Structure 1
Amino acid sequence: MAALDRLSLIQWLSPAFPTGGFAYSHGLEQAMSEGLRDADAVAGWVADVLDRGGGWTDAVILSLTLRGREASDLADLARAMAGSAERLAETMDQGRAFAATVSALEGTRVAAHPLPVAVGLAARRLDLPAPEIIGHYLHGFAGNLISAATRFLPLGQAQAQRALAGLHPLIARTAARAAMAGPEALETGCFGADLAAMRHETLDVRIFRT
């Protein structure tokens, strides 16, 4: 059963799953337009977001959802933790798309909530440990940002994959930490990424929605 559940989770968090994740850069497009131009810099930026930015707060909210906390309360928290209009649109739009597709796929209704809450609600039935679910979520999150950099920069596929592979230890540590975290852990310190997301709202030429 766990093997089938794992395959379901991989499908849900695959780039091919229709949440529209490819259209969002989480503010990274703004940072790249301002000079973030190589694989090491991109990997460092993504690492900060995973460790103390939107990746971390998503991981905690997902963890709390998996542990049975009230979804509507967590949805309110997720919306409150979105630091800008684009960040809010990012999590809400992807959450609605995820819930609609899983509902159609599974034949059961998954409520439309911010993305980590929607994923957590769907994943409650999976016979998988929370750190594994959170780790897959964060890997998809990081992979989407690395993919955005690949499309924006002269960044080769091999470089991009090395950058993502280099984030694996951090993803595993962050997932394990989030699996045990409570609501008091919902704090961020990734101000550069937050400001980049805000400035992106007025970027003249852009290929990503955030």
Structure 2
Amino acid sequence: MSATDRLSLIQWLSPGFPTGGFAYSHGLEQAMADGLRDPEAVADWVSHVLARGGGWTDAVILSLVLRGEDADELADLARAMAGSAERLIETMDQGRAFAATVAALTGRDMPPRPLPVAVGVAAHGLALSPDEVIAHYLHAFAANLVSAAMRFLPLGQVRGQTLLAGLHGAIAQSAARAAEADRAALGTGCAGADLAAMRHETLETRIFRT
């Protein structure tokens, strides 16, 4: 059962799943427009977001849903935790698309919720450990940001994949921490990323919605 469950999770979090994730950069486009062009600096930016930014709050909320806490209450909390208007759009639009597609595939009732809550509800019944589900989620999160960097910067496919592979340790570490975290662990410490997301709202020429 866990093999087919794992394949379902991989499908849900793959770039081909129609959540529109390719349209969002989580503020990274603004940071790159401001001069964040070095691949190592991009990797550092993403790793900080995973450890103490939006990736971390998503991971904790996902963990709480997987461990059976009330999804609607956590959906309200996820909306409140969004640090900017674009961040709210990002999680709500992707969560809505994710829920609608999973509902069509499975016949389950999946009301629209922020993305980590929607993923947690869908994955709650899978025979997979919370840390594995969270790690897959964070990998998809990081891969989307690396893909955004590859479209904005002259990284190339191999350099981009090398950058993503270098983030595997940070992904696994954040997933393990989040799997045991409670609500007191919710909080962010990535002011630069939050400010970039806010400033992106007025960026004149853009590739991404956020």
Normalised-by-shorter TM-score class: over 0.9
**Other-structure match for 1:135:** 135
Unpaired runs of 5+ residues, structure 2, are: none
CA distance in structure 2 between the aligned counterparts of 1:104 and 1:44, rounded to whole angstroms: 38
**Other-structure match for 1:122:** 122
Using the TM superposition, give the Cα deviation of residue 107 of structure 1 relative to its aligned residue in structure 2, in angstroms. 1.4
Unpaired runs of 5+ residues, structure 1, are: none
Provide the TM-score with structure 1 as the length reference: 0.99
**Other-structure match for 2:76:** 76
Using the TM superposition, give the Cα deviation of residue 109 of structure 1 relative to its aligned residue in structure 2, in angstroms. 1.5
**Other-structure match for 1:85:** 85
Contact 1:38/1:155 (8 A) holds in 2: no
CA distance in structure 1 between the aligned counterparts of 2:143 and 2:50, rounded to whole angstroms: 11
- Equivalent residues, number: 210
| Identical columns (%) | 74
Structure 1 runs of 4+ aligned residues shifted over 3 Å read none
SS at match of 2:133: helix
Amino acid at match of 2:74: L
1:19 aligned onto 2:40: no
SS at match of 1:161: helix
Using the TM superposition, give the Cα deviation of residue 34 of structure 1 relative to its aligned residue in structure 2, in angstroms. 0.3
CA distance in structure 2 between the aligned counterparts of 1:172 and 1:12, rounded to whole angstroms: 19
CA distance in structure 1 between the aligned counterparts of 2:146 and 2:36, rounded to whole angstroms: 13
**Other-structure match for 1:196:** 196
CA distance in structure 1 between the aligned counterparts of 2:92 and 2:187, rounded to whole angstroms: 20
Using the TM superposition, give the Cα deviation of residue 131 of structure 1 relative to its aligned residue in structure 2, in angstroms. 0.3
**Other-structure match for 2:167:** 167
**Other-structure match for 1:59:** 59
Deviations 1:97-148 (A, max 9, x none): 0000000011112121000000000000100000000000000000000000
**Other-structure match for 2:146:** 146
Using the TM superposition, give the Cα deviation of residue 72 of structure 1 relative to its aligned residue in structure 2, in angstroms. 1.1
SS at match of 1:36: coil
Using the TM superposition, give the Cα deviation of residue 155 of structure 1 relative to its aligned residue in structure 2, in angstroms. 0.8
Using the TM superposition, give the Cα deviation of residue 204 of structure 1 relative to its aligned residue in structure 2, in angstroms. 0.3
SS at match of 1:164: helix
CA distance in structure 2 between the aligned counterparts of 1:111 and 1:131, rounded to whole angstroms: 24
CA distance in structure 1 between the aligned counterparts of 2:169 and 2:178, rounded to whole angstroms: 14
CA distance in structure 2 between the aligned counterparts of 1:110 and 1:123, rounded to whole angstroms: 12
CA distance in structure 1 between the aligned counterparts of 2:103 and 2:82, rounded to whole angstroms: 25
SS at match of 2:80: helix
**Other-structure match for 1:180:** 180
Deviations 1:48-102 (A, max 9, x none): 1000000000000000000110111101110111000000000000000000000
SS at match of 2:111: coil
CA distance in structure 1 between the aligned counterparts of 2:111 and 2:172, rounded to whole angstroms: 28
The farther-off stretch of 29-38 and 104-113 is 104-113
